[in-house]
Amino acid sequence: MDYYMPKPSMSIVWSKCFFGNGVGTVLKGPFQSIYGGFNTPVSRDIAASECHGLISKEDIDELMTFCNFAVGLIPYEKTNYNRLRKYMVYSNK
């Protein structure tokens, strides 16, 4: 997985074939026309200090422990929904 790369920002997932650019407003790839919260274009900053990397195998394993759709993801910080951040799991069980 790209999580283990020394520099995840260089991953192929940030190419126009997959997720599009990883810094600034998404201008390439299949997400270039997507709007996020507050009807603003999706913007990313994968090299931000508060975002320490891509999702890890452990993160995926944690998500797979939930078995209903009442479980989801919320950002650690709710102040800026347009920034790519590490997410935490919540459940309303």
pLDDT tens per residue, range 30-52: 888 888 878 888 888 776 655 55
What is the per-residue pLDDT for 85? 45
Chain mean pLDDT for the chain: 70
**pTM across the whole model:** 0.47
pLDDT in tens, 57-68: 887 787 777 665
**How far is it, in rounded angstroms, from Cα 62 to Cα 73?**
12
* Residue 19 confidence (pLDDT) above 50: yes
What number of other Cβ atoms are within 10 A of residue 5's Cβ? 12
**How far is it, in rounded angstroms, from Cα 28 to Cα 63?**
28
What is the per-residue pLDDT for 72? 53
* Residue 88 confidence (pLDDT) above 60: no
Please compute the mean of the pLDDT values over residues 12-33 and round it to a whole number. Answer: 85
Domain residue limits, the chain: 2-90
Structure-model confidence comparison of residues 73 and 23, the more confident one = 23
What is the per-residue pLDDT for 82? 43
